[in-house]
Structure 1
Amino acid sequence: MPTKLLSFWQLIKIIPEKWQEENYGQAGGGFWAVAILDTQVIWYNDIEDGFNISPYKTPGTIAKYYCDQYSLTEILFQILNSK
């Protein structure tokens, strides 16, 4: 991971924890949240085998399900390039 991305990752990462998602996340007990940035959560979708970024209103609950198959590096690049 490039130094710039690694530094950014160090700022937003959290200890992975299961977050709920009402439509698809119940079967596995939720999805693993790995980082938080403002009102967005980066989480791992074990159904699709990839990372996603979604909005949240309440910590612990993913507000919108996505089924992308991005690597963590791709997600971080997307965020940095959008700012």
Structure 2
Amino acid sequence: MDTWQPISAEELEALVVSQLSECSTEQQRFFEQCKVVPYLAKIERLGTVETVFVVARTGNIALYYEDVEEGFNISELQPDGSILNPACEQWELCHALWHMVKA
């Protein structure tokens, strides 16, 4: 039986490249404007503090990859940079970008 392992930076980069190619031109432009060098941010999962990769930011809104649920999500950040509102949306990158534009 395989045990769960967090996504690596290399796996995440490949996933972003793959899913970004399926996004609209407007979404690709938006992502280019707000992408960041992926970094780890704290997130609380069922009372345990773990980390997720943030891949883009606009203002106080972060786009991050939730590797337990295997999907992208958006959330405001707390003052310490941690995820304020954890979500389990399992969005593809194009769906998360659509929601981020609206946020």
TM range (shorter): 0.7 to 0.9
* Unpaired stretches in structure 1, ≥5 consecutive residues: none
Taking only the aligned residue pairs, the percentage that are identical comes to 26
Q: TM-score, normalised by structure 1?
A: 0.83
Aligned mate of 1:53, from 68, 74, 91:
74
AA matched with 1:78: H
Aligned mate of 1:32, from 39, 53, 59:
53
* Unpaired stretches in structure 2, ≥5 consecutive residues: 1-22
Taking the aligned partners of 2:96 and 2:80, their CA distance within structure 1 comes to 20
Q: Which structure shows the bigger proportion of residues in helix conformation?
A: 2
AA matched with 2:58: L
The structural deviation recorded for 1:14 is 0.4
Q: How many residues align?
A: 80
Q: TM-score, normalised by structure 2?
A: 0.68
The structural deviation recorded for 1:59 is 5.2
For 2:24, the equivalent position in structure 1 comes to: 2
Please report the RMSD computed on the Cα atoms of aligned residues, expressed in angstroms.
1.8
